[in-house]
Protein backbone atom coordinates (compact mmCIF):
# COMPACT_ATOMS: atom_id res chain seq x y z
CA UNK A 1 0.00 0.00 0.00
CA UNK A 2 1.11 3.55 -0.76
CA UNK A 3 2.60 5.38 2.20
CA UNK A 4 2.64 9.11 2.84
CA UNK A 5 2.74 11.42 5.81
CA UNK A 6 -0.37 13.40 6.65
CA UNK A 7 0.28 15.44 9.78
CA UNK A 8 -2.76 16.57 11.73
CA UNK A 9 -1.82 20.12 10.78
CA UNK A 10 1.12 21.43 8.77
CA UNK A 11 1.90 24.86 10.25
CA UNK A 12 4.78 25.92 7.92
CA UNK A 13 2.56 25.17 4.92
CA UNK A 14 0.06 27.80 6.11
CA UNK A 15 2.65 30.45 5.29
CA UNK A 16 4.14 28.74 2.23
CA UNK A 17 0.78 28.39 0.50
CA UNK A 18 0.62 32.10 -0.31
CA UNK A 19 4.15 33.09 0.72
CA UNK A 20 4.65 35.80 -1.90
CA UNK A 21 1.44 37.57 -1.01
CA UNK A 22 2.12 37.33 2.72
CA UNK A 23 5.61 38.76 2.26
CA UNK A 24 4.14 41.77 0.44
CA UNK A 25 1.55 42.33 3.19
CA UNK A 26 4.07 41.96 6.02
CA UNK A 27 6.58 44.30 4.36
CA UNK A 28 3.87 46.86 3.69
CA UNK A 29 2.57 46.88 7.28
CA UNK A 30 6.03 46.94 8.85
CA UNK A 31 7.36 49.66 6.56
CA UNK A 32 4.36 51.81 7.47
CA UNK A 33 5.17 51.22 11.14
CA UNK A 34 1.52 50.23 11.50
CA UNK A 35 1.74 47.96 14.53
CA UNK A 36 -1.15 48.79 16.86
CA UNK A 37 -4.75 49.86 16.05
CA UNK A 38 -4.08 51.09 12.55
CA UNK A 39 -6.17 51.11 9.39
CA UNK A 40 -5.67 47.38 8.67
CA UNK A 41 -7.45 46.55 11.93
CA UNK A 42 -10.40 48.81 11.18
CA UNK A 43 -10.64 47.57 7.60
CA UNK A 44 -10.58 43.97 8.75
CA UNK A 45 -13.32 44.69 11.30
CA UNK A 46 -15.48 46.26 8.59
CA UNK A 47 -14.85 43.31 6.26
CA UNK A 48 -15.73 40.77 8.97
CA UNK A 49 -18.92 42.66 9.91
CA UNK A 50 -19.94 42.72 6.26
CA UNK A 51 -19.17 39.02 5.80
CA UNK A 52 -21.34 38.08 8.79
CA UNK A 53 -23.95 40.75 8.13
CA UNK A 54 -23.65 42.16 11.67
CA UNK A 55 -23.47 45.74 12.86
CA UNK A 56 -20.20 45.46 14.76
CA UNK A 57 -17.04 43.34 14.63
CA UNK A 58 -14.30 44.12 17.12
CA UNK A 59 -10.85 42.61 16.74
CA UNK A 60 -9.34 41.37 20.01
CA UNK A 61 -6.23 39.52 21.11
CA UNK A 62 -7.64 35.98 20.82
CA UNK A 63 -10.79 33.90 21.16
CA UNK A 64 -10.40 33.67 24.92
CA UNK A 65 -10.42 37.46 25.31
CA UNK A 66 -13.35 37.61 22.89
CA UNK A 67 -15.27 35.36 25.28
CA UNK A 68 -14.21 37.15 28.46
CA UNK A 69 -14.99 40.63 27.13
CA UNK A 70 -18.33 39.38 25.79
CA UNK A 71 -19.29 37.95 29.18
CA UNK A 72 -18.38 41.21 30.93
CA UNK A 73 -20.10 43.39 28.33
CA UNK A 74 -23.23 41.20 28.40
CA UNK A 75 -23.44 41.83 32.14
CA UNK A 76 -22.26 38.53 33.65
CA UNK A 77 -21.17 39.27 37.20
CA UNK A 78 -20.62 37.74 40.64
CA UNK A 79 -22.59 34.53 41.14
CA UNK A 80 -24.42 34.56 37.77
CA UNK A 81 -24.78 31.05 36.37
CA UNK A 82 -24.01 30.49 32.70
CA UNK A 83 -24.90 27.13 31.13
CA UNK A 84 -22.21 25.86 28.78
CA UNK A 85 -21.50 22.39 27.32
CA UNK A 86 -18.82 20.28 28.96
CA UNK A 87 -17.58 19.33 25.47
CA UNK A 88 -15.65 22.54 24.90
CA UNK A 89 -12.29 24.19 25.33
CA UNK A 90 -11.57 25.34 28.87
CA UNK A 91 -11.58 28.97 27.61
CA UNK A 92 -15.40 28.92 27.39
CA UNK A 93 -15.68 28.18 31.10
CA UNK A 94 -12.74 30.30 32.20
CA UNK A 95 -14.25 33.38 30.53
CA UNK A 96 -17.41 32.86 32.61
CA UNK A 97 -15.31 32.29 35.74
CA UNK A 98 -13.13 35.39 35.24
CA UNK A 99 -16.17 37.60 34.67
CA UNK A 100 -17.35 36.50 38.15
CA UNK A 101 -19.92 34.01 36.87
CA UNK A 102 -20.33 30.29 37.54
CA UNK A 103 -19.99 27.87 34.61
CA UNK A 104 -22.68 25.16 34.84
CA UNK A 105 -21.92 22.30 32.50
CA UNK A 106 -24.56 20.72 30.31
CA UNK A 107 -24.52 17.67 28.08
CA UNK A 108 -24.26 17.43 24.32
CA UNK A 109 -26.60 15.64 21.93
CA UNK A 110 -25.83 13.15 19.13
CA UNK A 111 -24.25 15.92 17.01
CA UNK A 112 -21.78 16.66 19.85
CA UNK A 113 -23.36 20.12 20.31
CA UNK A 114 -25.34 21.70 23.16
CA UNK A 115 -28.36 19.64 24.20
CA UNK A 116 -31.44 21.78 24.94
CA UNK A 117 -33.05 19.18 27.26
CA UNK A 118 -29.92 19.13 29.36
CA UNK A 119 -29.93 22.96 29.49
CA UNK A 120 -33.54 22.95 30.77
CA UNK A 121 -32.65 20.66 33.69
CA UNK A 122 -29.94 23.05 34.87
CA UNK A 123 -31.96 26.28 34.97
CA UNK A 124 -32.10 28.00 38.37
CA UNK A 125 -33.06 31.44 39.60
CA UNK A 126 -29.39 32.40 39.23
CA UNK A 127 -29.12 31.42 35.55
CA UNK A 128 -28.22 34.53 33.58
CA UNK A 129 -27.06 33.23 30.21
CA UNK A 130 -26.52 30.26 27.92
CA UNK A 131 -23.25 29.84 26.06
CA UNK A 132 -23.79 27.47 23.10
CA UNK A 133 -20.50 26.24 21.68
CA UNK A 134 -20.65 25.96 17.89
CA UNK A 135 -18.12 23.18 17.73
CA UNK A 136 -16.21 21.71 14.82
CA UNK A 137 -17.58 24.26 12.36
CA UNK A 138 -21.23 23.39 12.95
CA UNK A 139 -23.96 25.55 14.47
CA UNK A 140 -26.25 23.88 16.99
CA UNK A 141 -30.00 23.61 16.45
CA UNK A 142 -30.62 27.06 17.92
CA UNK A 143 -34.46 26.94 17.89
CA UNK A 144 -34.91 25.31 21.33
CA UNK A 145 -32.02 27.32 22.79
CA UNK A 146 -33.57 30.59 21.63
CA UNK A 147 -36.92 29.45 23.05
CA UNK A 148 -35.42 28.71 26.47
CA UNK A 149 -33.58 32.03 26.46
CA UNK A 150 -36.74 33.91 25.51
CA UNK A 151 -38.90 32.14 28.07
CA UNK A 152 -36.49 32.69 30.97
CA UNK A 153 -35.07 36.09 29.96
CA UNK A 154 -31.54 34.74 29.45
CA UNK A 155 -28.72 36.20 27.39
CA UNK A 156 -27.04 34.11 24.71
CA UNK A 157 -23.27 34.48 24.43
CA UNK A 158 -22.03 32.26 21.62
CA UNK A 159 -18.70 30.54 21.66
CA UNK A 160 -18.52 30.40 17.88
CA UNK A 161 -14.71 30.32 17.98
CA UNK A 162 -14.73 27.21 15.76
CA UNK A 163 -17.53 28.21 13.44
CA UNK A 164 -16.83 31.26 11.29
CA UNK A 165 -19.17 31.10 8.31
CA UNK A 166 -21.22 28.19 9.62
CA UNK A 167 -25.00 28.69 9.52
CA UNK A 168 -28.20 27.35 11.06
CA UNK A 169 -31.34 28.14 9.06
CA UNK A 170 -29.36 30.61 7.02
CA UNK A 171 -28.19 32.58 10.07
CA UNK A 172 -24.48 32.78 10.83
CA UNK A 173 -22.96 31.29 13.98
CA UNK A 174 -22.12 34.15 16.30
CA UNK A 175 -25.17 36.23 15.38
CA UNK A 176 -27.89 34.60 17.51
CA UNK A 177 -27.48 36.43 20.78
CA UNK A 178 -25.88 39.29 22.66
CA UNK A 179 -22.42 38.52 21.26
CA UNK A 180 -20.57 35.95 19.17
CA UNK A 181 -16.88 35.16 19.45
CA UNK A 182 -14.22 33.97 17.02
CA UNK A 183 -10.72 32.59 17.36
CA UNK A 184 -8.16 33.06 14.60
CA UNK A 185 -5.60 30.68 16.13
CA UNK A 186 -3.44 29.50 13.19
CA UNK A 187 -5.19 26.12 12.86
CA UNK A 188 -8.64 27.69 12.76
CA UNK A 189 -10.63 27.95 9.51
CA UNK A 190 -9.50 31.59 9.37
CA UNK A 191 -6.03 31.38 10.86
CA UNK A 192 -3.65 34.22 11.74
CA UNK A 193 0.11 33.84 12.21
CA UNK A 194 -0.27 33.95 15.99
CA UNK A 195 -3.09 34.62 18.40
CA UNK A 196 -6.05 36.68 17.24
CA UNK A 197 -9.81 36.86 17.77
CA UNK A 198 -12.96 38.93 17.36
CA UNK A 199 -16.35 39.65 18.90
CA UNK A 200 -19.39 40.35 16.75
CA UNK A 201 -22.64 41.89 17.93
CA UNK A 202 -25.68 43.80 16.74
CA UNK A 203 -25.93 45.56 20.11
CA UNK A 204 -24.22 48.94 19.89
CA UNK A 205 -23.91 49.30 23.68
CA UNK A 206 -22.11 45.94 23.92
CA UNK A 207 -19.86 46.88 20.99
CA UNK A 208 -18.91 50.18 22.61
CA UNK A 209 -18.18 48.48 25.92
CA UNK A 210 -15.89 45.96 24.20
CA UNK A 211 -14.05 48.61 22.19
CA UNK A 212 -13.20 50.20 25.54
CA UNK A 213 -12.47 46.96 27.40
CA UNK A 214 -9.95 45.77 24.79
CA UNK A 215 -7.92 48.98 25.15
CA UNK A 216 -7.44 49.65 28.88
CA UNK A 217 -10.94 51.05 29.30
CA UNK A 218 -10.01 54.15 27.34
CA UNK A 219 -12.40 56.23 25.32
CA UNK A 220 -10.35 57.86 22.58
CA UNK A 221 -13.10 60.30 21.64
CA UNK A 222 -12.92 62.01 25.03
CA UNK A 223 -9.38 60.99 25.91
CA UNK A 224 -10.55 59.58 29.24
CA UNK A 225 -10.69 56.22 30.95
CA UNK A 226 -14.30 55.15 31.44
CA UNK A 227 -13.90 51.62 32.87
CA UNK A 228 -11.26 49.16 34.05
CA UNK A 229 -10.11 47.36 30.92
CA UNK A 230 -7.44 45.09 29.51
CA UNK A 231 -4.81 45.14 26.83
CA UNK A 232 -6.69 42.81 24.50
CA UNK A 233 -6.14 44.51 21.15
CA UNK A 234 -5.82 42.59 17.91
CA UNK A 235 -2.36 43.21 16.43
CA UNK A 236 -2.56 45.28 13.29
CA UNK A 237 -0.20 42.92 11.42
CA UNK A 238 -2.44 39.95 12.20
CA UNK A 239 -5.44 41.99 11.06
CA UNK A 240 -3.75 42.62 7.69
CA UNK A 241 -3.07 38.88 7.28
CA UNK A 242 -6.62 38.04 8.30
CA UNK A 243 -8.07 40.51 5.82
CA UNK A 244 -6.20 38.77 3.01
CA UNK A 245 -7.31 35.35 4.17
CA UNK A 246 -10.93 36.43 4.68
CA UNK A 247 -11.05 37.52 1.04
CA UNK A 248 -10.34 33.86 0.14
CA UNK A 249 -12.48 32.40 2.90
CA UNK A 250 -15.30 30.99 0.77
CA UNK A 251 -12.73 28.97 -1.18
CA UNK A 252 -11.23 27.62 2.07
CA UNK A 253 -14.68 26.53 3.25
CA UNK A 254 -15.44 24.89 -0.09
CA UNK A 255 -12.17 22.98 0.15
CA UNK A 256 -12.92 21.74 3.66
CA UNK A 257 -16.38 20.63 2.58
CA UNK A 258 -14.71 18.78 -0.31
CA UNK A 259 -12.53 16.85 2.14
CA UNK A 260 -15.61 16.09 4.27
CA UNK A 261 -17.30 14.67 1.18
CA UNK A 262 -14.37 12.32 0.59
CA UNK A 263 -14.46 11.11 4.21
CA UNK A 264 -18.23 10.73 4.07
CA UNK A 265 -18.13 8.66 0.86
CA UNK A 266 -15.33 6.44 2.13
CA UNK A 267 -16.40 5.88 5.70
CA UNK A 268 -20.20 6.00 5.84
CA UNK A 269 -20.61 2.23 5.47
CA UNK A 270 -18.44 1.46 8.52
CA UNK A 271 -20.83 0.54 11.32
CA UNK A 272 -18.37 1.13 14.13
CA UNK A 273 -17.95 4.78 13.16
CA UNK A 274 -20.24 7.73 13.91
CA UNK A 275 -19.36 10.43 11.40
CA UNK A 276 -20.23 14.11 11.51
CA UNK A 277 -23.22 14.89 9.26
CA UNK A 278 -22.06 15.15 5.63
CA UNK A 279 -21.82 18.58 3.97
CA UNK A 280 -25.20 18.13 2.30
CA UNK A 281 -26.91 16.18 5.09
CA UNK A 282 -29.71 18.67 5.75
CA UNK A 283 -30.94 22.04 4.57
CA UNK A 284 -30.91 23.67 8.03
CA UNK A 285 -27.16 23.44 8.52
CA UNK A 286 -24.22 24.80 6.62
CA UNK A 287 -21.04 23.40 8.19
CA UNK A 288 -17.53 24.76 7.65
CA UNK A 289 -15.70 21.70 9.04
CA UNK A 290 -13.26 23.34 11.41
CA UNK A 291 -12.60 19.76 12.52
CA UNK A 292 -13.63 16.31 11.42
CA UNK A 293 -14.53 14.72 14.74
CA UNK A 294 -15.77 11.15 14.52
CA UNK A 295 -16.53 8.42 17.03
CA UNK A 296 -15.12 4.94 17.03
CA UNK A 297 -15.71 2.06 19.43
CA UNK A 298 -12.12 1.01 18.65
CA UNK A 299 -10.74 4.53 18.89
CA UNK A 300 -7.36 3.82 20.46
CA UNK A 301 -6.54 0.93 18.08
CA UNK A 302 -7.63 3.02 15.10
CA UNK A 303 -5.42 5.93 16.17
CA UNK A 304 -2.44 3.59 16.59
CA UNK A 305 -3.07 2.18 13.09
CA UNK A 306 -3.18 5.67 11.55
CA UNK A 307 -0.11 6.75 13.49
CA UNK A 308 1.84 3.71 12.23
CA UNK A 309 1.00 4.80 8.68
CA UNK A 310 2.01 8.44 9.07
CA UNK A 311 -1.37 10.03 9.79
CA UNK A 312 -1.75 12.45 12.69
CA UNK A 313 -4.90 12.42 14.82
CA UNK A 314 -5.88 14.42 17.88
CA UNK A 315 -8.27 14.00 20.78
CA UNK A 316 -10.01 17.31 21.27
CA UNK A 317 -9.18 18.99 24.62
CA UNK A 318 -6.53 16.32 25.18
CA UNK A 319 -9.29 13.70 25.48
CA UNK A 320 -11.19 15.09 28.49
CA UNK A 321 -14.21 17.35 28.70
CA UNK A 322 -14.54 20.04 31.32
CA UNK A 323 -16.40 18.06 33.98
CA UNK A 324 -13.50 15.60 34.01
CA UNK A 325 -10.93 18.20 35.19
CA UNK A 326 -11.47 17.71 38.92
CA UNK A 327 -9.35 20.77 39.82
CA UNK A 328 -12.00 23.02 38.24
CA UNK A 329 -14.77 21.62 40.51
CA UNK A 330 -17.52 22.37 38.00
CA UNK A 331 -21.17 21.44 38.51
CA UNK A 332 -22.09 19.08 35.72
CA UNK A 333 -24.66 16.68 34.35
CA UNK A 334 -23.25 15.12 31.23
CA UNK A 335 -23.75 11.34 30.73
CA UNK A 336 -23.54 11.55 26.91
CA UNK A 337 -20.36 13.60 27.04
CA UNK A 338 -18.90 11.02 29.44
CA UNK A 339 -19.33 8.26 26.80
CA UNK A 340 -18.22 10.58 24.00
CA UNK A 341 -14.81 11.10 25.58
CA UNK A 342 -14.06 7.37 25.30
CA UNK A 343 -14.81 7.37 21.57
CA UNK A 344 -14.12 10.76 19.99
CA UNK A 345 -11.10 11.55 17.81
CA UNK A 346 -10.26 13.97 15.02
CA UNK A 347 -8.67 13.08 11.68
CA UNK A 348 -6.87 15.65 9.47
CA UNK A 349 -9.12 18.43 8.13
CA UNK A 350 -7.51 21.60 6.84
CA UNK A 351 -6.70 23.55 3.69
CA UNK A 352 -3.02 22.66 3.60
CA UNK A 353 -3.62 18.95 2.99
CA UNK A 354 -4.59 17.60 -0.43
CA UNK A 355 -7.67 15.67 -1.50
CA UNK A 356 -5.30 12.74 -2.13
CA UNK A 357 -4.18 13.00 1.49
CA UNK A 358 -7.84 12.68 2.49
CA UNK A 359 -8.22 9.63 0.21
CA UNK A 360 -5.12 8.08 1.78
CA UNK A 361 -6.46 8.63 5.32
CA UNK A 362 -9.81 7.17 4.21
CA UNK A 363 -8.18 4.10 2.66
CA UNK A 364 -6.23 3.44 5.83
CA UNK A 365 -9.39 3.59 7.92
CA UNK A 366 -11.19 1.30 5.48
CA UNK A 367 -8.37 -1.23 5.57
CA UNK A 368 -8.34 -1.08 9.40
CA UNK A 369 -11.99 -2.24 9.27
CA UNK A 370 -11.22 -4.94 6.68
CA UNK A 371 -12.85 -3.13 3.73
CA UNK A 372 -11.26 -2.79 0.29
CA UNK A 373 -9.22 0.39 0.30
CA UNK A 374 -10.78 1.68 -2.93
CA UNK A 375 -14.01 3.67 -2.85
CA UNK A 376 -15.99 6.05 -5.08
CA UNK A 377 -15.39 9.75 -4.28
C1 LIG B 1 -14.40 26.27 21.29
C2 LIG B 1 -13.27 27.21 21.57
N3 LIG B 1 -13.47 28.24 22.40
C4 LIG B 1 -12.50 29.14 22.67
C5 LIG B 1 -11.24 29.02 22.10
C6 LIG B 1 -10.18 30.00 22.48
O7 LIG B 1 -9.61 30.66 21.40
P8 LIG B 1 -8.09 31.19 21.47
O9 LIG B 1 -7.20 30.01 21.44
O10 LIG B 1 -7.97 32.05 20.25
O11 LIG B 1 -7.96 31.98 22.73
C12 LIG B 1 -11.00 27.97 21.22
C13 LIG B 1 -9.66 27.81 20.60
O14 LIG B 1 -9.15 26.76 20.42
C15 LIG B 1 -12.02 27.04 20.96
O16 LIG B 1 -11.83 26.00 20.13
161 lines ligand 1 (CB under 6 A): yes
- CATH 3.40.640.10-classified regions of the chain: 13-247
Collapse the DSSP code of 231 into the 3-class scheme (helix H, G, I; strand E, B; otherwise coil) and give the result: strand
For 250-368, give the CATH class. Answer: alpha beta
Q: How far apart are CA 86 and CA 84, in angstroms?
A: 7
Ligand 1 atom having least distance to the Cα of 64: 11
Q: How far is the CA of 183 from the centre of ligand 1 (A)?
A: 6
Length of the chain as a residue count: 377
Q: How far apart are CA 276 and CA 268, in angstroms?
A: 10
pLDDT of the residue at 331: 79
Ligand 1 atom having least distance to the Cα of 62: 10
Is residue 156 over pLDDT 70? yes
Is residue 1 over pLDDT 70? no
Burial class (CB in 10 A: 0-12, 13-18, 19+), 307: exposed
pLDDT of the residue at 350: 98
134 lines ligand 1 (CB under 6 A): no
Residue nearest to atom 5 of ligand 1 (CA): 63
Alpha-carbon distances of 190 from 197, 273, 291, rounded to whole Å? 10, 28, 13
Burial class (CB in 10 A: 0-12, 13-18, 19+), 298: middle
- What's the mean pLDDT when you consider all of the chain? 97
Greatest alpha-carbon pair distance for the chain in Å reads 69
pLDDT 10s digits, 266-301 = 999 999 999 999 999 999 999 999 999 999 999 999
**DSSP summary character for residue 295:** E
pLDDT 10s digits, 3-51 = 899 999 999 999 999 999 999 999 999 999 999 999 999 999 999 999 9
Q: How far apart are CA 90 and CA 349, in angstroms?
A: 22
Helices 299-308 & 355-368 angle (0-180, nearest 10): 130
Of the candidates 220, 180, 147, the residue with the CA atom closest to the CA atom of residue 73: 180
Mean pLDDT of 165-179: 98
Q: How far is the CA of 187 from the centre of ligand 1 (A)?
A: 11
Q: How far is the CA of 373 from the centre of ligand 1 (A)?
A: 35
Q: How far is the CA of 161 from the centre of ligand 1 (A)?
A: 6
Q: How far apart are CA 60 and CA 239, in angstroms?
A: 10
Q: How far apart are CA 376 and CA 373, in angstroms?
A: 10
- CATH 3.90.1150.10-classified regions of the chain: 250-368
Is the CATH number of domain 13-247 3.30.450.20? no
The residues, any chain, with a CB within 8 Å of residue 123's CB and separated by 6 or more, are 83, 148, 152
Is residue 174 over pLDDT 80? yes
pLDDT of the residue at 375: 82
Q: How far is the CA of 372 from the centre of ligand 1 (A)?
A: 38
Q: How far is the CA of 368 from the centre of ligand 1 (A)?
A: 32
63 lines ligand 1 (CB under 6 A): yes
pLDDT 10s digits, 107-129 = 999 999 999 999 999 999 999 99
pLDDT 10s digits, 295-331 = 999 999 999 999 999 999 999 999 999 999 999 999 7
The number of beta carbons lying within 10 Å of the beta carbon of residue 367 is: 14
Q: Left if phi > 0, otherwise alpha if psi is -120 to 50, otherwise beta: which for 119?
A: alpha
Ligand 1 atom having least distance to the Cα of 184: 10
Mean pLDDT of 46-75: 98
Q: How far apart are CA 248 and CA 141, in angstroms?
A: 28
Q: Give pTM, 2 decimals.
A: 0.97
92 lines ligand 1 (CB under 6 A): yes
Amino acid sequence: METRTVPFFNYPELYRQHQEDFDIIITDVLSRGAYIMQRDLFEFEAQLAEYLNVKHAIGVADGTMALLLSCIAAGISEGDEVIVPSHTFVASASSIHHSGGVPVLCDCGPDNLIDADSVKKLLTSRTKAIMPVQLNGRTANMDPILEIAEEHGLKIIEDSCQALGSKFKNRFAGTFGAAGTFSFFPAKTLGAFGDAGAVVTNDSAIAERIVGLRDHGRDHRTNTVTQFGFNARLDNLQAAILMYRLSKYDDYVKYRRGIAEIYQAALQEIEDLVLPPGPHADADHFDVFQNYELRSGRRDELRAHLDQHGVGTILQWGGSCLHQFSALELRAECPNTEILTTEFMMIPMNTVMTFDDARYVSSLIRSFYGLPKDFEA
